[in-house]
Amino acid sequence: MSEPLSCTEPTAYDRITSDGGKAGVKFRLQLVVVNASGHEHVQEVARIERDEVSIETLGLTLAEGKLILKSIQEGMVQEQIQDALRRRRHCPECGKARHGKGHHDVTMRTLFGNIELKSPRPEHCRCQRHVEKTFSPIQAILPEHTSPEMLYLEVKWSSLLPYQVGCDLLHDVLPVNEKLSAVTMRNHLFAVPNGWSRNWARSGRA
């Protein structure tokens, strides 16, 4: 009988486990936001820990992927909105700061989750005549509250599959809002103009 193979040099696995710790690795995913002046700030997106690797724990799970997409989407959208509001904080004519008149909540529906936004309602500056006293910058920038990609997939899958199957499919693979239902998808299918999804796909954006 031959002697068992013996390694005199420690392997990478031995080095990880030799100090009594478990084999494994930790991941911290971050979103780094860089503003126009080059200043960076970091938002934590996710922390993932893995022990010994197996085919089930190799890379991301579907659930982790969905949570990460949702978290990145939330961070990106809030930053974009804050940037847009900063640009509109002053009157473009005279440069005076606009006074706030409260805010209301707005929900934006995207493939990577619903995003709740605080939508401020500043007063128009008195240096110009305006029909209304106040306005909503977010309503002016984003009159639609559903992203066209979201609408496209809702309409496409509703037209190819039973509503409930299409709805389940969206929930299975994307972090869409948990309240998305077959009824909503049916309503959206009937609300869009004929050929809308075909034209959207032809535009090269889908």
Q: Which stretch binds Zn ion (CB under 5 A): 53-61, 119-127, 153-161, 188-196?
A: 119-127
Query: Which residues are within 8 A (CB) of 24 and not within 5 positions of it... i.e. 6 or more apart?
Result: 16, 49, 50, 51, 52
Which two structure tokens, joined as six digits, stand for 161? 């599959």
Nearer to Zn ion, 28 or 86 (CB): 86
Nearer to Zn ion, 128 or 159 (CB): 128
Q: Kindly tell me which residue out of 94, 160, 191, 201 binds Zn ion, with binding defined by CB under 5 A.
A: 94
Q: Kindly tell me which residue out of 34, 127, 165, 183 binds Zn ion, with binding defined by CB under 5 A.
A: 127
- Rounded Cα distance, 187 and 162, in Å: 13
Nearer to Zn ion, 45 or 125 (CB): 125
* Distance of closest approach, residue 199 Cβ to Zn ion, in angstroms: 40
Nearer to Zn ion, 28 or 126 (CB): 126
- 176, with CB counted inside 10 A (0-12, 13-18, 19+), is buried
Q: SS3 breakdown of the chain: % helix, strand, coil, rounded to 5?
A: 40, 25, 40
* Distance of closest approach, residue 100 Cβ to Zn ion, in angstroms: 15
Q: Which stretch binds Zn ion (CB under 5 A): 60-68, 92-100, 138-146, 160-168?
A: 92-100
169 binds Zn ion (CB under 5 A): no
91 binds Zn ion (CB under 5 A): yes
Burial letters 110-120, b for 16+ CB under 10 A, else e: bbbbbbebebb
Residue with tokens 């990880």: 16
201 binds Zn ion (CB under 5 A): no
